[in-house]
Structure 1
Amino acid sequence: MERLERELERGPLAHGRPDQRWTLVRIKALIGRLFHVSYTIEGTWLLLRRYGWSWQQPARQATERDDEAVELWKKEVRPQVKEWPRPGVRGSPSRTRPGSR
Structure 2
Amino acid sequence: MIGTPLPDPRDQITDHLNQALEQFFGTGKKIQHVDSGVSGERELTFGTAHGNKLRAKREKIAPELKRLSDSGANLYQACTELKIGHKRAVLIASENKIKFKDS
Q: TM-score, normalised by structure 1?
A: 0.27
Greater relative contact order: 1 or 2 (C-alpha under 8 angstroms, separation 6 or more)? 2
Q: Report which of the two has the higher share of helix.
A: 2
Q: TM-score, normalised by structure 2?
A: 0.27
